[in-house]
């Protein structure tokens, strides 16, 4: 076969219930010797699967770059095809890697490619169902799959991945989850060499903070902060928060709430004690550790205090 790998990987269950067998052409990475797999993969059951269409070489680099992959990262590619994403992560970014694919021939090819690239000690591939894959060790997960697969993997990934882990999806975003970053660019290898646009979507797994939190302020005379019990109520939509602060039986609006990995930030206006200065805006930032969080708050007048919170209810 002339310019690379040609193998059908998976059946796609269409919206009308029909079965389509798709094929893709793979070009070799310039610095990566790719062996050639012969024959076609066969689907094992009636689950929906994505066709094997290789990720263009420049898209691989952009996916790993947008996730800021480095030597301390472990990249897991679900539906790893010929293995180019984990192998490139090791060769060019110094990371370790792992890939899962249903097609035994592609898995064999990927492990051979890793050996030929000299990264077999840091990168390996296994045959398996992406929905059953163990991704707990991943700091970065990469995907190039059709929308039903991407959507189906979302709860699997959020259940297993630690806050701050990054997910990069090529071309197909998660519905209802706004990407933390995205890039669109031209990829010459797409459409059998005719070229086309690629878009990569970056998602940072947020810590789960939904619920009620007992918030402790220092109760000092700093800018007249009131010494009173406070309850922070958070409603979470992925990385975004709707919130309010109940302080001394006064409900205060909380704005610009955001979770980035295990970090939280939000803004509110705190009332002053009797005789104190006028109420001023405060910016809260902190780190989340399960059912506790703590950090610092700064006023627009330059004052800074420490705060901490403990979750009292998840509703």
Q: Are residues 196 and 218 in the same domain?
A: no
- The reported pTM is 0.80
**CB count, 10 Å around CB of 39?**
10
Q: Are residues 97 and 162 in the same domain?
A: yes
Last residue of a domain, one of 154, 184, 204: 204
Last residue of a domain, one of 204, 238, 270: 204
User: What is the reported pLDDT for 22?
Assistant: 26
In a domain, 47, yes or no: no
In a domain, 23, yes or no: no
Last residue of a domain, one of 204, 231, 248: 204
Q: How far apart are CA 68 and CA 78, in angstroms?
A: 19
Question: Per residue in 194-241, pLDDT tens?
Answer: 999 999 999 999 999 999 999 987 755 455 566 667 899 999 999 999
In a domain, 72, yes or no: yes
For residue 258, give the CATH number of its domain.
2.40.128.120
Segments of the chain with pLDDT less than 70? 1-51, 219-228, 272-278
Helix/strand/coil (H/E/C) assignment for every residue in 92-104: HHCCEEEEEECCH
How many domains does the structure of the chain reveal?
2
- Among the listed residues 257, 209, 212, the one whose alpha carbon sits nearest the alpha carbon of residue 230: 212
Question: Phi then psi for 313, rounded to 5 degrees?
Answer: -160, 150
Q: How far apart are CA 101 and CA 189, in angstroms?
A: 22
**CB count, 10 Å around CB of 244?**
16
Q: Are residues 225 and 172 in the same domain?
A: no
In a domain, 17, yes or no: no
User: What is the reported pLDDT for 42?
Assistant: 33
In a domain, 43, yes or no: no
Domain of 220?
A: 211-313
């Amino acid at each position: 076969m002339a310019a690379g790998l040609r193998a059908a990987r998976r059946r796609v269950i269409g919206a009308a219930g029909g079965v389509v067998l798709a094929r893709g052409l793979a070009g070799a990475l310039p610095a990566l010797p790719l062996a050639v797999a012969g024959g076609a993969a066969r689907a094992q059951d009636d689950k929906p699967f994505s066709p094997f269409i290789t990720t263009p070489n420049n898209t691989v680099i952009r996916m790993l770059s947008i996730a800021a992959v480095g030597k301390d990262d472990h990249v897991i590619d679900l539906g790893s095809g010929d293995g180019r994403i984990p192998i490139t992560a090791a060769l060019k970014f110094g990371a370790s890697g792992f890939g899962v694919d249903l097609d035994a021939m592609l898995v064999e090819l990927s492990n051979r490619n890793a050996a030929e690239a000299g990264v077999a000690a840091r990168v390996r591939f296994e045959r398996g169902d992406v929905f059953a894959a163990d991704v707990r060790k991943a700091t970065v997960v990469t995907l190039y799959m059709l929308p039903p697969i991407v959507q189906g993997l979302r709860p699997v990934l959020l259940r297993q991945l630690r806050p701050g882990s990054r997910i990069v999806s090529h071309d197909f975003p998660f519905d209802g989850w706004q990407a933390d970053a995205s890039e669109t660019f031209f990829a010459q290898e797409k459409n059998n060499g005719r070229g086309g646009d690629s878009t990569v979507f970056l998602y940072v797994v947020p810590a789960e903070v939904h619920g009620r939190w007992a918030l402790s302020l220092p109760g000092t005379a700093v800018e007249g902060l009131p010494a009173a019990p406070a309850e922070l109520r958070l409603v979470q939509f992925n990385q975004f928060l709707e919130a309010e602060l109940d302080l001394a039986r006064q409900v205060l609006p909380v704005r610009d709430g955001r979770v980035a990995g295990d970090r939280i930030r939000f803004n509110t206006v705190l009332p002053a004690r009797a005789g104190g200065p006028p109420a001023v805006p405060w910016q809260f930032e902190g780190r989340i550790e399960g059912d506790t969080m703590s950090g610092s708050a700064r006023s627009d007048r330059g004052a800074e205090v420490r705060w901490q919170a403990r979750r009292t209810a998840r509703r």
